[in-house]
Amino acid sequence: MAGPDNDDAGAAQAWLTAPSQSAPAGPASTSSASNGSASGAKPAQPAAGGPPPRQPQGGGRRAGVGQAETPLDIVFVSAEVAPWSKTGGLGDVVGSLPVALAARGHRVMVIAPRYLNGGQNDALYEDAVDTGVRAELALGGCGPQTAGFFHLHRNLVDWVFVDNPVFHRPGNPYGDEHGVFGDNQFRYALLSLAACEAPLQLQIGGYRHGEPPGFAYGERCVFVSNDWHAALVPSYLAAKYRRNGVYLKTRCIFAIHNLSHQGVEPAATFPNLGLPDDWYEHLSWEYPSWASINGPAVNLLKGAVLCSDRIVTVSQGYAWEICTSEGGWGLHNVLLGRQHVLNGITNGIDMDEWDPARDAHTPAPFDAADTSGKAACKAALQVELGFDVDARIPLIGWIGRLDHQKGPDIALDAVPGITQRGCQMVMLGSGSAKYEAAMRAAEAAHRASFRGWVGFSVPVAHRIVAACDVLLMPSRFEPCGLNQLFAMRYGTVPVAHATGGLRDTIRSYDPHAAGGDVATGWTYSPPDSGAMLRALDQALDLRWHQPDLWAAIMRAGMTADLSWDRAAADYEQVFAWALMDEPARAF
């Protein structure tokens, strides 16, 4: 069996039977639900009384990239971005949606921290040059702060990295082996305020349509601030800038990738945010009764829901779920109040990075026309894992953060049942120590046919996605999910809990369906191992007894339009709506 891979920068990782190292903590802040097409290609719904929705872009893959009717200056703000600082799906999205928007003719800047942790990952920032600009930031009780800006122009996008000592420390972006960093509210307030300065101060914006470099984006742009870490951007724009006559024509879209993290801290921290006193009401918050702590608090994500011009989340299913008491994490009433500006846009995937015909991490190329390379990938992974090498044995995979959301416990509960069915299974994940221990125990008990990998390794993720027959996604909730999309592109059939983006993107097999589109996988409910095993049984039965239909299911996934160009066009529609309206909070 193979030992640990060392090809993933900065990752601590090991097969469980190899000498194991502790994995970096997963992302976390201080606190903390429709059927659809295979492509997820439903257009965003308009706000009530808003303009009619744009027509869908067509079902199949489009020959070329569309062009924007109105090129805009767009500024993304995010705590993580692939490849520099990805810890999960947020990094994937912010690494690829901006590229898709730039390819459509927009001028796009992405602003994220310049994380230096002393590991191999630091080298990724070497191509970014110091602009020499130092922004003085007024962050209230924290005193004046300085932010530097490093810049790299690549794939038509301006990648800007905010530099400050708070981003230079061992660990992952959000924490280290001791847990989540205690000053994350301050670190991401600094990022958010620096991001507001970047379009005004950086003379980098000259790359659109052959314009000469050397001028600023200026104050007529569209911000896309992502998740709680960038949730102060709409508040800063409204309270600090518009009140002073700046950014009057700018709009801010707030993108929710995961509502369970909201950036909640005690109310006493409000003065540290550098916001005027009268802004407190937008952020004020009482912990819900189910929270383990109580007392007055500030909730950065709540502020963004109230103050941003439009809100986007990453699937239509999730846009619905977060407006319910079950899926709203205490914010459903606030979200219901702004439902008229809330849209769900299903994520795409990076079709270059996740291309089975050109994947540098896998041993053999394949595509929908010829899947023989997939069999080679499976055999290679069986060798690597020390499993029997046999194409007939179903190989089942699971990849994700070891977090309650992703249902690693549900997957682990099913291990005895899966191995009894004669399958092999591999799990890749990092995060909670208790789930890591459970993976170790499962491997010890089922050494012939179960392997776990503790750590974060993009190459291993590619090898598992390419090799497996089935990918399990037992997530309790899933705003969009990317692994099911990667899996479909590699002919790996997803079996997933019918929730959020999983239900939107997987066309579930229905033996009673009369004609129509071929399925791309299975969805099941409720989110427990029994329901998951029943769906897996149906899938395996079909694989054995109707191989032609199984191949058609694989092909349907592999040929679905999962590209970002479709989603990028939907984002453009949201930008256009935002620009038609007055700012949500003028001052």
Ligand X SMILES: Nc1ncnc2c1ncn2[C@@H]1O[C@H](COP(=O)(O)OP(=O)(O)O[C@H]2O[C@H](CO)[C@@H](O)[C@H](O)[C@H]2O)[C@@H](O)[C@H]1O
**61 contacts: CB under 8 Å, gap ≥ 6:** 559, 560, 561, 563
DSSP per residue over 196-210, as a string? HHHHHH------GGG
For residues 269 and 492, which CB has a smaller minimum distance to ligand X in the complex?
492
Q: How far is the CB of 311 from ligand X (least distance, A)?
A: 14
Q: Which of 96, 235, 382, 483 binds ligand X (CB under 6 A)?
A: 483
Q: How far is the CB of 442 from ligand X (least distance, A)?
A: 16
| CA distance linking residue 429 with residue 436, whole number of Å | 8
**Interacting span for ligand X (CB under 6 A) from 42-50, 424-432, 513-521, 546-554:** 424-432
Cα atoms in the 13 Å half-sphere on the side-chain side of 24? 24
Per-residue tokens: 242: 């518009």
With beta carbons less than 8 A apart as the criterion, state whether 497 and 522 touch.
Answer: no
For residues 190 and 482, which CB has a smaller minimum distance to ligand X in the complex?
482
| CA distance linking residue 193 with residue 403, whole number of Å | 30
262 is an interface residue for ligand X by CB under 6 A: no
Residue with tokens 């929705």: 53
428 is an interface residue for ligand X by CB under 6 A: yes
113 is an interface residue for ligand X by CB under 6 A: no
319 is an interface residue for ligand X by CB under 6 A: no
| CA distance linking residue 41 with residue 151, whole number of Å | 34
| 118: region left, alpha or beta (phi > 0 left; psi from -120 to 50 alpha) | left
482 is an interface residue for ligand X by CB under 6 A: yes
**Interacting span for ligand X (CB under 6 A) from 282-290, 326-334, 453-461, 562-570:** 453-461
For residues 188 and 236, which CB has a smaller minimum distance to ligand X in the complex?
188
With beta carbons less than 8 A apart as the criterion, state whether 297 and 286 touch.
Answer: yes
Q: Which of 457, 499, 505, 559 binds ligand X (CB under 6 A)?
A: 457
For residues 185 and 347, which CB has a smaller minimum distance to ligand X in the complex?
347
- Distance of CA 430 to CAs 353, 366, 484, Å? 22, 29, 18
**Interacting span for ligand X (CB under 6 A) from 164-172, 410-418, 436-444, 481-489:** 481-489
List strand residue ranges (DSSP E) for 114-192, in order: 129-138, 144-154, 157-163, 175-176, 179-180
| CA distance linking residue 269 with residue 42, whole number of Å | 41
Report DSSP state, residue 122: G
**Interacting span for ligand X (CB under 6 A) from 144-152, 363-371, 452-460, 514-522:** 452-460
Q: How far is the CB of 545 from ligand X (least distance, A)?
A: 31
Q: How far is the CB of 503 from ligand X (least distance, A)?
A: 12
| CA distance linking residue 255 with residue 230, whole number of Å | 9
List strand residue ranges (DSSP E) for 1-50, in order: 14-15
Site for ligand X, residues 372 to 411, rule: CB under 6 A: 399-401
Q: How far is the CB of 513 from ligand X (least distance, A)?
A: 27
505 is an interface residue for ligand X by CB under 6 A: no
With beta carbons less than 8 A apart as the criterion, state whether 331 and 301 touch.
Answer: yes
Q: Dihedral (C-alpha) 343, 112, 306, 288: value to the nearest 10 degrees?
A: 100
481 is an interface residue for ligand X by CB under 6 A: yes
Q: How far is the CB of 30 from ligand X (least distance, A)?
A: 18
| CA distance linking residue 187 with residue 193, whole number of Å | 10
For residues 90 and 439, which CB has a smaller minimum distance to ligand X in the complex?
90
Report helix, strand or coil for 426.
Answer: strand
Per-residue mark of binding to ligand X, 330-369 (x: CB under 6 A): -----------------x----------------------
Q: How far is the CB of 89 from ligand X (least distance, A)?
A: 2
Q: How far is the CB of 339 from ligand X (least distance, A)?
A: 20
456 is an interface residue for ligand X by CB under 6 A: yes
Q: How far is the CB of 163 from ligand X (least distance, A)?
A: 25
b (16+ CB within 10 A) / e for 17-40: beebeebbbbbbbbbbbbebbbbb
567 is an interface residue for ligand X by CB under 6 A: no
Q: How far is the CB of 263 from ligand X (least distance, A)?
A: 15
The verdict on whether omega for the bond into residue 4 sits within 30 degrees of 0, i.e. cis, is no
Site for ligand X, residues 83 to 102, rule: CB under 6 A: 88-90, 92-93
Q: Which of 172, 185, 258, 424 binds ligand X (CB under 6 A)?
A: 258
Q: How far is the CB of 403 from ligand X (least distance, A)?
A: 8
For residues 88 and 373, which CB has a smaller minimum distance to ligand X in the complex?
88
For residues 174 and 186, which CB has a smaller minimum distance to ligand X in the complex?
174
314 is an interface residue for ligand X by CB under 6 A: yes
If you count DSSP H runs as helices and E runs as strands, how many of each does the chain have, helices first?
17, 21
Per-residue mark of binding to ligand X, 265-304 (x: CB under 6 A): ----------------------------------------
For residues 46 and 459, which CB has a smaller minimum distance to ligand X in the complex?
459
Please state the φ and ψ torsions of residue 71, each to the nearest 5 degrees.
-65, 135
**Residue 433 burial (CB count, 10 A):** 12
For residues 44 and 399, which CB has a smaller minimum distance to ligand X in the complex?
399
Burial class (CB in 10 A: 0-12, 13-18, 19+), 367: middle
For residues 254 and 456, which CB has a smaller minimum distance to ligand X in the complex?
456
Q: How far is the CB of 249 from ligand X (least distance, A)?
A: 28
257 is an interface residue for ligand X by CB under 6 A: yes
Give contact residues for ligand X (rule: CB under 6 A).
88-90, 92-93, 257-258, 314, 347, 399-401, 428-430, 456-458, 461, 478-483, 501
